[in-house]
Structure 1
Amino acid sequence: MTRPSSTPSRISADIAASAAAVAPYEHRTITEQINYWARVGMQIERSASVTSRSVLAVAAGRAQFSGLTVDERRAAHALIDAGIAERAASERFGAAARAAGQTTVSIDDDGYLIEIAPGGTRRRL
């Protein structure tokens, strides 16, 4: 049996790290774990059921949690958490914080935690 073709793509570092942590327990490679998560998400979004529409409406802020079952609430919270994580991973707050006089921390290209002073001075922690 031939393997399906693949397309190179960029994955956020936090997703890759999560997949690396989970994959061995699920007996998958990191790529297989990310593909599994993508397929699960794809199936959820493709689902046209009233339940999934209700969960998506709550997660988008167009409906109330009170109309959902306990399991549906968990799903809505998971969608909200995923959206927050995705947005937080793409936002850059350091420059604005330093402009306001605050010291920030970041990770350098070598993976070390660094402190960045408002003036731009960097110090490895």
Structure 2
Amino acid sequence: MARVKAAMGRKARVAADLMDAAAFEGKLHARSATQQLEHWARVGRLVSAQPAEASRRIEAAFAGALDERDLSAEERVVWNAELDTAICEAASAVRFGEVLAARGVTTVALDEHGRLTHHHPDRTKPPG
């Protein structure tokens, strides 16, 4: 998580992947990472304020009551953005290492220095 200065001097936590993407995208548009995040937030606020009927149709598609192919092109843009966000939020909440350790699976991950480390279910460390 990165911290950025938000409105009225408060600090806001931002996921590292979003900060990285904002820094990259911001360079393309002569914006700082913080300015890019603000831009995305403003665009997202306007997209979320879709007319009530469009919002109901998008919610119906999420509930499976309406096939997403029946959404208009504009509704599909919002549907895809909402779906991508929901997937990212759900994935960030899962602790895959903990889930796999509970199943007896050894995992490998990068540590804070970029080195591969083994994580054994019994929390022992491999030699060397």
Q: Specify if TM > 0.5.
A: yes
Does the Cα contact within 8 Å between 2:54 and 2:75 map onto a contact in 1? Answer: yes
Q: TM-score, normalised by structure 2?
A: 0.75
Letter aligned with residue 89 of structure 1: S
Aligned pairs for 1:29-48 within 5 A: 29-48=32-51
Q: Which residue of 1 aligns with 2:100?
A: 97
Residue 57 of structure 1, CA deviation: 3.4
Aligned structure 1 segments of 4 or more residues deviating by more than 4 angstroms:
none
Aligned pairs for 1:44-59 within 5 A: 44-59=47-62
Residue 9 of structure 1, CA deviation: 0.7
Q: Determine the C-alpha separation between the residues in 2 that align with 1:88 and 1:25.
A: 28
Instruction: Describe the SS at the equivalent of 1:10.
Output: strand
Aligned pairs for 1:71-86 within 5 A: 71-86=74-89
5+ long unaligned stretches in structure 1: none
Q: TM-score, normalised by structure 1?
A: 0.76
5+ long unaligned stretches in structure 2: 1-6
RMSD (CA atoms): 2.4
Q: Determine the C-alpha separation between the residues in 1 that align with 2:9 and 2:64.
A: 35
Instruction: Describe the SS at the equivalent of 2:108.
Output: strand
Aligned residues: 120
Does the Cα contact within 8 Å between 1:19 and 1:33 map onto a contact in 2? Answer: yes
Between the aligned residues of both structures, percent identity stands at: 32
